[in-house]
Amino acid sequence: MSKITVVGAGKVGATCANVLAHADIVNEVVLIDIQGNMAKGKALDMWQQAPVDGYSTRVTGGDDYALTANSDIVVITAGIPRKPGMSRDDLISTNAKIVVSVTQNILKYTKNPIIIVVSNPLDVMTYACWKASGLSDKRVFGMAGVLDTARYRAFSLKRSSVSQKISRPCSWADTAIPWCRCPVHHR
């Protein structure tokens, strides 16, 4: 794989780009944000960190979607996050417009990317992205369960000091419930 674009250079997007850069698994990571200079500056910091931390990923950034041309994977984190008292569903109308416009811009420069949506509310944004993209449903994904699963496991460990394997088969919302999976030993 040679190129991953991350759209949204805020807390989630910049962290994602930084982790990808350090993983050294792609030639290029592109960080795009409506605040182009902020994305450009963060990308520059990540690229210049490479000799110190020992990776060779080229990181670039800005607000010009031409930079994203021919991406293998696009991660969409653009949007507004929840403020205190808000549910993820309160973000629908604002973030849907953002996710749809980001999707349209991406497709101007990359014909058949894999898109991973992170913006909330996750299930709705993933659907909006898929509808706007016209891509196969095998190319558009939503990333969510990892976060709550990690939190749940961390709190479980704190309480019990017993490791648990947990999966989350339900939708991504305030009503989500963790699903505990106990190991079964067959004879």
79 is a contact residue toward ligand NAD (CB under 6 A): yes
| Residue 21 near ligand NAD by CB under 6 A | no
CB of 161 to ligand NAD, least distance (A): 26
Q: What element of type H or E holds 117?
A: strand 114-117
Does 8 bind ligand NAD (CB under 6 A)? Our answer is yes
| Alpha-carbon gap, residue 95 to 4, rounded angstroms | 22
CB atoms within 10 A of CB 34: 14
Binding-residue pattern over the window 123 to 162 for ligand NAD, x denoting contact by CB under 6 A: --------------------xx--x---------------
For the bound state, the minimum distance from the C-beta of residue 164 to ligand NAD, rounded and expressed in Å, comes to 20
Q: Where are the beta strands (DSSP E) in 63-144?
A: 73-76, 114-117, 140-142
Rounded to an integer, what distance in angstroms lies between the CA atom of residue 83 and that of residue 139? 31
Catalog residues that contact ligand NAD under the rule CB under 6 A.
Answer: 7-13, 33-35, 77-79, 81-82, 91, 95, 98, 101-102, 118-120, 122, 143-144, 147
